């Protein structure tokens, strides 16, 4: 069931759902999440089961404010506090030492926990309603909502309420907050070490984080040993964000050459359904009905906002292959490049 997330009664229904240990689809400015009470181990197990997600792959916990950080985190380094002051509410997740006795299931058994304060007004309203308590067992305070992306594990993240419903069906309660503003998941910075380490790029760039936390933000391969087996954060596996069709990254010249080599073989085919989908910034000469083409925006932010929706559209068209023009170099494209490389892995 999809409810208008702007309505007070919808927020109240969502808060009741979370308190009762059920799952809830909710919007954030990045992607839609599949939420549950972060401190309810049974509810957390339902997230892992619904997504088909390994139980040792930690979840991000969404909090309302700094008080939520105090509840879940054992310590907060000075550089992490500066990042919180600069970027919260917003698309930044911080991995912090976990306070003993809380959210062990959501943390995937690790001694750290990922925390984020979303800026989406529906998410903020829901977190505020969940925090409120009358002191009774019937209305406990919920300090955080664990909410990985609301899709099957490893697949394309959802950016609309309808995407969530297509993944989990009409029985799941979903708060509709409209299309996500940013369209890709949050930046993740590991703050459990003596220095900040970027685990996943996002809308908050490495350069922005460095400028505002006052010290170098290391890349994961600069600081974390390659043999570290357990994932410390969501969305950091080599293969992730993948549509059902196989994705291949190509430059524009390679793409046009491949289209030309297919030539009459596609044009003379008897089928009319598209066999290959193409997502490119560069103009290409495409004449076959079996090639489905979409233009990629020239800007990184606009591309990020529509990327997952475009991949879902291609899957719905039944294509077997998706050819995507490799993004340009530059920090503004890092997050898009990261998602595409994982989708193609």
| Cα 120 from Cα 183, distance rounded (Å) | 12
Q: Quick one: pLDDT at residue 39?
A: 95
| Cα 229 from Cα 173, distance rounded (Å) | 35
| Cα 232 from Cα 199, distance rounded (Å) | 8
Determine contact, residues 202/91, Cβ cutoff 8 Å: yes
Q: Radius of gyration over alpha carbons of the chain, in Å?
A: 21
Q: Quick one: pLDDT at residue 140?
A: 77
Each domain of the chain, given as residue ranges in start order, spans 2-223, 246-344
| Cα 37 from Cα 18, distance rounded (Å) | 6
| Cα 51 from Cα 149, distance rounded (Å) | 9
| Cα 142 from Cα 63, distance rounded (Å) | 9
pTM for the model:
0.90
Q: How many H-runs (helices) and E-runs (strands) does the chain carry?
A: 11, 15
Q: Quick one: pLDDT at residue 95?
A: 95
Taking domain 2-223, whether its CATH number is 3.30.70.20 is answered by: no
Low-confidence ranges of the chain (pLDDT < 50): 226-231, 269
Tokens standing for 233?
């954060």
Print burial letters for 45-67: b (CB count within 10 Å at least 16), e (below 16).
eebbebbebeeebbbbbbbbeee
Q: How many CB atoms lie within 10 A of CB 169?
A: 8
Q: Quick one: pLDDT at residue 231?
A: 47
Whether 2-223 and 246-344 share one fold: the answer is: no
Full strand arrangement of the beta sheet holding 291-295: 246-250, 321-325, 276-280, 291-295
Beta strands in 169-290 (DSSP E): 173-176, 187-190, 197-200, 218-219, 246-250, 276-280
Q: Give the CATH fold of the 246-344 domain.
A: Rossmann fold (3.40.50)
Q: Quick one: pLDDT at residue 251?
A: 94
Residue written as token pair 């989708």: 343
């Amino acid at each position: 069931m999809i409810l208008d997330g702007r309505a007070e009664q919808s927020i109240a229904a969502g808060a009741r759902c979370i308190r009762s240990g059920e799952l809830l689809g909710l919007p954030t400015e990045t992607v839609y999440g599949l939420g549950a009470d972060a401190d309810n181990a049974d509810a957390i197990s339902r997230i892992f089961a619904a997504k088909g997600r390994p139980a040792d792959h930690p979840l991000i916990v969404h909090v309302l404010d700094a008080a939520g950080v105090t509840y879940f985190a054992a310590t907060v380094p000075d550089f992490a506090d500066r990042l919180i002051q600069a970027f919260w509410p917003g698309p930044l997740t911080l991995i912090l030492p976990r306070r003993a006795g809380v959210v062990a299931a959501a943390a995937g058994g690790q001694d750290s926990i990922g925390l984020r304060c979303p800026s989406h007004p529906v998410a903020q309203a829901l977190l505020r309603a969940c925090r409120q308590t009358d002191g009774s067992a019937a209305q406990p305070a919920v300090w955080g909502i664990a909410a990985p992306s609301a899709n099957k594990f490893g697949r394309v993240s959802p950016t609309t309420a309808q995407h969530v419903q297509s993944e989990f069906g009409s029985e799941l309660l979903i708060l509709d907050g409209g299309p996500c503003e940013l369209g890709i998941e949050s930046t993740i910075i590991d703050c459990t070490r003596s220095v900040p380490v970027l685990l996943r790029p996002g809308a908050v760039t490495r350069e922005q984080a460095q400028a505002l936390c006052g010290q170098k933000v290391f890349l994961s391969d600069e600081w974390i040993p390659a043999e570290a087996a357990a994932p410390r954060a969501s969305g950091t596996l080599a293969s992730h964000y993948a549509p059902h069709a196989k994705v291949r990254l190509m430059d524009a010249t390679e793409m046009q050459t491949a289209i030309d080599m297919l030539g009459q073989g596609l044009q003379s085919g008897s089928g009319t359904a598209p066999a290959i989908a193409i997502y490119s910034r560069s103009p290409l000469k495409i004449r076959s009905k079996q090639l489905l083409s979409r233009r990629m925006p020239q800007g990184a932010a606009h591309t990020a906002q529509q990327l997952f929706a475009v991949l879902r559209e291609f899957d719905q068209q039944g294509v077997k292959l998706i050819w995507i023009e490799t993004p340009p170099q530059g920090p503004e494209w890092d997050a898009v490049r990261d998602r595409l490389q994982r989708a193609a892995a």
